[in-house]
Each structure stands twice: as C-alpha cells, then as structure tokens.
A and B are shown apart, each in its own frame.
Chain A
C-alpha cells in the first residue's frame, strides 16, 4: 500500500515538472501563459459560487432536517452489500448533478472526517465518476437526438464499477 501512497504523492509534482520543463525547452513565455490560465481559473470559481451557495444550503437543510437519514434507512438494506450507508446520498446524486454531488461529497467528508475511511471513499468516488445523466443529455441534445439506445445503460454500468472498485481499493488502504 505504501506504493499507492507514493505514486499519489509524486503524481502532482511530476506532472508540473513535465509541463513546465517542456515549456522551458520549447522557449514559450511560460509565466505569461500561466497567468492567463490562472485568470481563467478565477472566472470558473466566481461563476460557480452562486450555484454552490444555493446547493450547499439545500444539502445542509436535507441533512439537518433528517431527510437524508430517512432515505438512507429505506434504501440501505439493498445497497448495504456493496457500499457503506454514509456514501449512499453521494451515489444517488452523482450521476444527476455535478455541483449537487460536490456539495454532498464535501458534506459527507466533513461529517465523517477528511482522512477517515468514509471521507477518503467519498473523495475517491467523487473523483472517479462523472455527471453521467447530464453529460448524456447535453451531448445528445446538442445534435437534436432523441433515441439514445443503450448509452445510459453502458455509462451507468461504468459508474457502478467505479464505485465498487473505489470501495475495494479504499478498504485495502485502511486495512
């Protein structure tokens, strides 16, 4: 398991090294480019800030009112086999909405501890799955397609595999 940790730790520095080192070799104006991109980053965060306010408050209300506990207790007999209860709200919302699932994931991580089993698992699931329904809708409607055949089935299977593999790997990490 220390190898997994090691690769995770060196991944970011290596990616930065390759990109910056290569830019230096090609003699591009590397810092100017960086500034331009960083400015775009500022815009991205500013743009999603209103969405986050709306969703964090809504998710916080769902949790503090007890609705999430209620739903979890109803569905958990079925999902108990392959994932912990705490993860359930994330697994349900993840395919539907990116920003809502981000709010839920943050909520779960905060409630269970960022370096706890559940906290790490929520982060891994969040990072290894996508907003499937949204992606399918945007891509299909952009070319005015109505019949999507088996694309939903194939993508959801991939998502479920992603969740199951996440559970297995994170369990191994904590053993």
Chain B
C-alpha cells in the first residue's frame, strides 16, 4: 500500500509546491520533520517499553484465564458452531484479549491462526465465512484498554493531561464495536435469505 501512497505524496507535494510557490516552506519542512521524528520516537520508546513490560507480566499470570472465562458467553454469541473446536475457540479468545491489552504484535498472529482454523470449517474456500467476517470486524474495531500510542503522542507534544482521552476513546470504540457487530449480524441474516 505505502509503495504506492508514499511516492505519490512526495511527487504531488513537490509539484504542487512549485506551482503554488510554497517550495521554500516544503524545503524547510524536510529538516523540521526529520528532527520531529527523533523527538517523537524517544517519547514513544518510553511508553511502548513500559506497557510491553507490564503486559508481558499480565500474559504470564492467570489474568488471561479470568478474561477468557468472562469472554466465553460473548464469543459464543458472536461466533456460530465453533464450541466443539477448542483450538479455534482459544485462538479467537487470545486474539481478542491481545487486542484489549493493546498487544498489536501478538494479536495479528493469533488472529491469522484463528482464520486458518476457520478456513477448515469454511464450505466455500474462496469466500469469507460468517465467522471470519465477525473476526475481522472485531479486529478492525480495536477495543483497547490503554491506548498507549495516542497517549505517547499527546505526551510527546506536551499535553497537560495526556490521559484525558482514555474514557472518550472507550466510549467511541464501544459504540463503533456494537454497531459493527449489529451490522454484521443483520447482513449475515440477509445474506442467508438470499441463498
């Protein structure tokens, strides 16, 4: 994706800057931005290391088991006919937990594993099954208990109260998630009627 977008951004910017006479601005921005990335990355580094550390602790305790138990009724509501497949169940649960804890790097491999297992149950191998769609929608909604990246951005730019955004983010994500799930459930039903 970025192999296409990135060059387009740069070429269009330079051409537009020449036409509109902003080339001096553009030239300055190159120096300013590279310096900004270094400052920004240093702040990001602190926050990311702290939370990776704390979440590693969480991963190695029974908190994961409690969360799995809490999620069980929700998962049974969202996904159909997977109760018998414990491997599939476990992968989906861990994928959701990793998302909630903000472990993006752990969440994707687990989600892909779950997709693999779901593909075994899938009747049409070139088409997403209902369960697969639900899994993808859950992953695009990204419910995260501590939005570390955004906190790091706010912190690096000198906010008075970097954490002020946590609760609003929860509300917005939960609304998006509920709507996403409802739309998916409804469309699954409509799709079946067509068949």
A interface residue numbers (CB < 8 A to B): 4-5, 7-9, 11-12, 15-16, 18-20, 22-23, 26, 28, 30, 33-42, 44-45, 49, 51-67, 70, 96-97, 99-100, 102, 105-106, 109-110, 114-115, 119-120, 123-140, 142-151, 153-155, 157-159, 161-163, 165-166, 169-170, 173
19 pairs, A vs B, C-beta closer than 8 Å: A7-B166, A9-B164, A15-B54, A18-B63, A19-B54, A22-B62, A23-B61, A37-B55, A39-B52, A57-B33, A60-B36, A62-B12, A65-B14, A66-B16, A70-B16, A130-B142, A146-B127, A154-B137, A162-B173
Tell me if B's interface is mostly helix, strand, loop or mixed. Answer: helix
Q: Is the CB of A26 within 8 A of B157?
A: no
- The 5 A-B pairs with the shortest beta carbon distances in the complex, nearest first, are A37-B56, A158-B180, A41-B52, A162-B176, A41-B49
Q: Is the CB of A44 within 8 A of B164?
A: no
Give the number of A-B contacts (CB < 8 Å).
Answer: 342
The answer to the question of B86 belonging to the interface, with a C-beta cut-off of 8 Å to chain A, is no
CB-CB < 8 A to B23: which residues of A? Answer: 65
A158 touches which one: B58, B62, B140 (CB < 8 A)? B140
CB-CB < 8 A to A53: which residues of B? Answer: 34, 37
Q: B residues 22-80 with Cβ under 8 Å of A?
A: 22-23, 25-26, 28-30, 32-34, 36-37, 40-41, 44-45, 48-63
Q: Is the CB of B37 within 8 A of A52?
A: yes
Q: B residues 144-170 with Cβ under 8 Å of A?
A: 144-147, 149-150, 153-154, 157-161, 163-169
Q: Is the CB of B154 within 8 A of A123?
A: yes
The interface centre, meaning the residue of B124, B127, B173 with most chain A CB atoms within 10 A of its CB, is B173
Contact count band on B: 35 or more
CA distance A97 to B149 in the complex (A): 15
CB-CB < 8 A to B157: which residues of A? Answer: 106, 109-110, 114, 119
Tell me if A's interface is mostly helix, strand, loop or mixed. Answer: helix
